[in-house]
Chains A and B, each alone.
Chain A
Amino acid sequence: MAQIWHSLTAPWRALPARQRQVLTWVSSIVLLLIFPLVDRTFKWGIVNDVTDVLVLVILALGLNIVVGYAGLLDLGYAAFFAIGAYTTGILTWPPHSLELNFWIVIWAAVIVAAVFGIIIGTPTLRLRGDYLAIVTLAFGEIVPVVIRNLGGVTIGIGPWRLLTDFNLTNGVQGLNPVGQPRIGGFEFSFDPTPWYYLILVIAGLVIFANVRLQDSRLGRAWMALREDETAADCMGVDPIRTKLLAFAIGASFSGFAGAFYAAKLQAIFPELFKFNLSIMILCMVILGGMGNIKGVVIGGMLLQLFDRVVLTQTTILSRSIGQALHISPLETIDLSLWRWFFFGLAMVVIMVLRPEGLFPSAARRAELHAADEETPLPAERG
């Protein structure tokens, strides 16, 4: 098997590294661009699902900055997603009669999320490891509750009232509708394809930022903090500034995702941003390989693929087997209810067998093998 693979990929490996890289990039970009066309031709009807997956991948990339680069275990990351989504909702919900342009609102969502990143980051600066995780977990729980309760805001001192029963978030019902983006006369609505291209652009921006930051003064400072905070401090890395930047930049990515998600879904409510979502994003980061962009993207997609395709298809399969063999538990099984069991199992297996994730930093490996670039390493291509 390995032999066949080896001979099949021989022409590929014969190319210079630079060309291989360019080819990989160009072909994946072309594939992504023509994907809606392919989808229509074969009548898969999964463009919408893929768009949702890309939203989650963007979130995973944002969390990757906080957890993967800076090593700050954040268990409440969905809160920033909620803040981004609600910023968009509040600024475009018709009853508020603001109805700002989406292209302005999305940047507002990014800035608000970043500010909240700093607000939550500040009290956690002195905390390490477990304690940080607990505080961020609490923050992740607080945000949806606060949003739920901001349906009737009253601000005033004594008899004087600045606001009386102001409906900021519309409580449990949530905000509906949310303003949609518009380019010239074209309006984004139910056709998933324009949304797909928009998220592709955002994902491109986020990956670009991830790549550039990783290999910069700030990226190195993040990793130094992750490795040994005291030593990093003694080498001139300001831990406070560096951590706050990690929180702010990580959160700002989820601001993008939140704004997009709110506009696409057309309705947002507190229930969308529960603890489960934070954990799901964290699973995506860990599965792919913390601190590695390619790993997080592919790992995140794999996890979603498993969730949305493998689980539903095996459910159908096992039901038909159950019907054929008259095994009643199999006839009614719904494996998607078992999703968290499988995620948990995957985490255990990954942590035990491959703690660095499925795709450990390929950039690092490339660096390590810079000298012997021509030596073939079969498992490494991709």
Chain B
Amino acid sequence: MALLEARRISKHFGGLAALSNLDLNIEKGMIASLIGPNGAGKTTFFNMVSGIYKPTSGQILLEGRDIGGLRPNRATAMGLGRTFQNIRLFSNMTALENVLVGMNCRLKSTWFGALLRSRSVLHEEAGARERALKLLAYIGLGGKGQTLAKNLPYGLQRRLEIARALATGPKLMLLDEPTAGMNPQETVDAMALIKRVRDELDITILLIEHDMKVVMGISEWITVLDYGAKIAEGTPEQVRANSRVIEAYLGKGVATGSRRIKQKVAGGTASQEDGTI
């Protein structure tokens, strides 16, 4: 059974079909990517899985349980973590507090417990703090726990978003353009981090990415969307060779005509891949 299974899901905004009848399976332990031109429906898909949008039709199963239409916090409690395309940290809270908020649904203390501050509450808080600090160190933010999120440099903000999502205890992480706006070195570091999270923490990853170096470099499975429909899926090699994909990205003339450009697309990504792995 796949970890995440989307069965014929559609999303309509008024008359516009942002996604139609999409089937998508993500196997456990994978790093998978969702790619496609702007407006292809990638973020819409993420928003449906994480509960921000309710699918117009279809089912979304996480470990066989239907999560379609659940409120985001319920989906998170079921094991779904995510980051956002444009960073959405709690900017006036410290890095540590950001991570602690991520742990919210795994903690039990109530308002009454907070007032009394009983031994169990104190114990839970101390444990949470310790785990949060470890997580920050793991993600490369060691010693930055007391910095306000908004005062962190851009690359670290992206990392903090990942740390915060990890704190929710996810089985599946959705990363929406994790390397957007990063310089080449930061991108390489981010890729290494993503691989490390999968390998060491055993968290399945699905990412949206425009940077083909990243996509080809770390994904084991790629799904290509265009105009709200799946046009291809497979391993990076398969997708790279797929004529419909090249057509979607570069236009029809390219796929059927100029061999030279086609080679350039395929070749360019291949050489980058060698460089980064």
Contacts and interface: CB of A to CB of B under 8 A. Distances in A.
Interface stretch (A29-37, A102-110, A187-195, A231-239): A231-239
Given A217-B107, A217-B114, A219-B114, A235 B165 contact: yes
B231 interface: no
Contact-residue bracket for chain B: 35 or more
A325 interface: no
B93 A227 contact: yes
A1 B156 CA distance: 41
Given A232-B101, A237-B104, A370 B91 contact: no
A212 interface: yes
Interface in B87-129: 88-94, 97, 100-102, 104-107, 109-111, 113-115, 117, 121, 125
Interface stretch (B14-22, B36-44, B69-77, B207-215): B69-77
B111 A213 contact: yes
A364 B84 CA distance: 26
Contact-residue bracket for chain A: 20 to 34
B104 A235 contact: yes
A205 to B, nearest CB: 10
B115 A232 contact: no
Contact of A209 (B71, B77, B115, B165): B115
Nearest to A370: B146
Contact of A217 (B88, B104, B168): B104
B267 to A, nearest CB: 39
A213 B101 CA distance: 14
A220 B73 contact: no
B111 A231 contact: no
Nearest to A219: B114
A3 interface: no
Given A217-B109, A227-B90, A368-B146, A233 B72 contact: yes
A336 B88 CA distance: 46
A143 interface: no
Contacts of B159: none
Interface in A168-189: none
A168 B268 CA distance: 81
Contacts of A213: 111, 114-115
Contacts of A350: none
Contacts of B102: 235-236
Interface in A144-176: none
A227 B91 CA distance: 7
Interface in A241-262: 245, 249
B82 interface: yes
Contacts, number: 105
B262 interface: no
B164 interface: yes
B76 A235 contact: yes
A234 B101 contact: no
Nearest to A361: B92
B269 interface: no
A239 B89 CA distance: 16
Interface string A334-347: 00000000000000
A217 B91 CA distance: 18
Contacts of A371: 146
A212 B97 CA distance: 16
Identify which of A224, A232, A235, A245 gathers the most chain B CB atoms within 10 Å of its CB: A235
A231 B90 contact: yes
Contacts of B146: 367-368, 370-371
B248 interface: no
A228 B93 contact: no
Contacts of B165: 235
A124 B78 CA distance: 27
Contacts of B105: 235-237
B270 interface: no
Nearest to A239: B73
Contacts of A54: none
Contacts of B114: 212-213, 216-219
A123 to B, nearest CB: 18
B50 interface: yes
Contacts of A238: 71, 73
Contacts of B147: 368
Given A220-B97, A233-B71, A236-B168, A249 B111 contact: yes
Contacts of A233: 51-52, 71-73
B111 A235 contact: no
Contacts of A219: 114
A370 B167 CA distance: 24
Contacts of A239: 73
Interface string A47-80: 0000000000000000000000000000000000
27 contacts: A209-B115, A212-B117, A216-B121, A217-B100, A218-B111, A220-B93, A223-B93, A224-B104, A227-B89, A227-B90, A227-B91, A227-B92, A230-B52, A232-B90, A233-B71, A235-B73, A235-B101, A235-B102, A235-B104, A236-B105, A237-B73, A237-B101, A238-B71, A238-B73, A239-B73, A364-B94, A364-B148
Given A231-B90, A233-B72, A235-B101, 12 more contacts: A213-B111, A216-B109, A220-B97, A223-B92, A234-B52, A235-B168, A236-B77, A237-B73, A237-B105, A249-B111, A364-B94, A368-B148
Which A-B residue pairs are the 7 nearest by beta carbons? Answer: A236-B105, A216-B114, A227-B90, A236-B76, A231-B88, A233-B72, A224-B101
Interface of A: 209, 212-213, 216-221, 223-224, 227-228, 230-239, 245, 249, 364, 367-368, 370-371
